[in-house]
Every structure is written in C-alpha cells, then in structure tokens.
Amino acid sequence: MILQFIDDDPLLIFLVVRIIIKKKFSKYIIMTYTPFEIRVFPLLIFYVVLSISFTFMTVKMIIKWRERKVLPPLYLSIVFTLFTIAIITLAIGLGEAAITGFYKEIYRFSLPFGYSMVIIADILLFTFGNDVTDKGRKGLIPVIIIGAIIVIFIYLPWNWWGVPPEDYEGQLNLRLYTTLSLVLYSYFIYIYIFIICRRAMNKTVDEITHLGLSLLSYSMICLILFFLMFIGDTVLIVVFDHPGYSEFVYFAWIFAFIFFIVSYLSLVMPNWLVKRIRK
C-alpha cells in the first residue's frame, strides 16, 4: 500500500528512495533523500577551488620528491594526494546533490571515503614526522592497526552517512562514536608530531633546520584547528538544531589549505626563505 501510494504521487517519486531495508521481525523502512539547499552551493564552489589549489600543491611536492629522491618528500606527496582525493570526492558528492537536488548515493559515499583518506594520510604523516625528526619507526605498527580498525568502522552501514535522521530513528547509530574515534586518533598523531618537532628544535643549532621544524609544528596546529572547526559545526547541529555546513566548514578547509602551504615550506625551504633567515 505504501509503495503504491508513492508511485501514484509524482512529488514523492523524487523524495523517496526505492531502497527497502529488511529489519528484524520482517519490518521494513523506506529511506528518503534530503533535499539540497541552495545555501550550500557556495561551499561546492569553494570545494572546487580548493581541489584545484590542492592539486597544484600536490604536483609541486611530487616534483620536489622526484628532484631529491628521498623519503620525506614522498611521504608528504602521498599525504597531499590523499587530502586532494578527499576534497575532490567531497566536491563530486556535493556536485551530485546540486545537480539532482538531493543528497544521493555519491554524496553518501563521499563522506566515509573522504574520512578514510584522512586516516591514511594521518598514518603517512606519523611516518613523515618520525622520519624528519629521526625517531625511526617507533609506534608505527599500532598506529596502522588502530587506523585500519577505524577505517572499517567508518564504512559500516550503521553510521548512516547522509541519511535523514527520521530514517534510522530507534536503530543502532555509530556515527558519533566513529567521528569521535576519527578525531581522537588524528589529534593524537598531530599532537605527537608537534611535540617531537618542538623537542627536536631545542636540540638543533642550525637556523634552517630550526625553522623547518617550527613550520612543521605550525602545520600540525593547522590540522588540529581543521578538526576543531568540524567539531564546531557538529555542536551547532546537535545543540542548536543547525542544518549543517555552517561557516565552520569553510574555516576548516582554509586551515587545511594553510597546512599544505606551511608543511610544503617546512620541507622544501625555498631559496627566498633561506636567504631571509640568513640575513
């Protein structure tokens, strides 16, 4: 009866997904799509601009790695690539929503995929930080294992990425725990790299090395602020019933862009920066 009613009403054809998930005791729910809001369209443009900028910075880092043929530029090149893939995927997801008028399957896939790219980037950042501070491979295996577990949790269907709350009301919802795990995991790595950079700075007398480590530590602050902005957006949603995609999201990706620039400078140390130090 419900499905017949949906088929008879052309307006509901665009509002209701023809996906029926079987539940316990032979009950069924009908999953709906959330309509795209025009206020989010500037964010799509912002994502496209960032995708182009991230791609440019990634190519420059890859060029530096090919010139030097050492591991640190390779690690950072992969980190840049993963963040670039994440923002491009998010842009594609929002693009689908803007074109169709609803947050559909590509959008729903873009969220966990983007988060998983961040987890993998965190692992490479951990390796990169250990390498540039001569800490070796200490702690890498546990970081990889925990990161892999979080990635698995990210893709579990009970996170309900992009699904309207009314469609999973009363059911198991892991999204809060998954998001919290992602943030805590990332913060551990960023704070760890910040600390080892600061300790290494105290042991070096070379001005260029000191500045490089200082810039790297600042880049970790940028990533900490990156996630802090998303936490702010979540607080608005939970506490103030905000529809999401607030100004905090814009600031988050601005901090991510600053991370690209500062971490690039920390490793490459261009001539103009070296000359400024030695004046």
Domains and CATH numbers, the chain: 1-32 (no CATH), 39-278 (1.20.1070.10)
Please report which confidence band the pLDDT of residue 14 belongs to, taking 50, 70 and 90 as the band edges: very low
Specify the pLDDT at position 211. 86
Give the least confident one: 61-75, 174-188, 251-265: 61-75
Q: Is the pLDDT of residue 4 over 80?
A: no
Q: Which residues pair with 22 in a beta bridge?
A: 28
For the entire predicted model, the pTM comes to 0.83
70 vs 225, which has greater pLDDT?
A: 225
User: 172: which 2 tokens?
Assistant: 């198991």
Q: Is the pLDDT of residue 278 over 80?
A: no
The Cβ of residue 266 has, within 10 Å, a number of other Cβ atoms equal to 22
Distance of alpha carbon 141 from alpha carbon 41, whole angstroms: 41
Q: How far apart are CA 129 and CA 126, in angstroms?
A: 5
Q: To 10 degrees, what angle do helices 41-68 and 247-268 make?
A: 10
Element (H, E) at 17: strand 16-22
In this predicted model, what pLDDT tens digit does every residue of 227-246 receive, in sequence order? 999 888 888 877 777 788 88
For position 31, what pLDDT does the model report?
A: 61
Helix (H) or strand (E) holding 63: helix 41-68
pLDDT tens-digit readout, 44-87: 999 999 999 999 999 999 998 888 788 888 899 999 999 999 99
Burial 110-141 (b: 16+ CB within 10 A, else e): bbbbbbbbbbbbbbbbbbbbbbbbebeeeeee
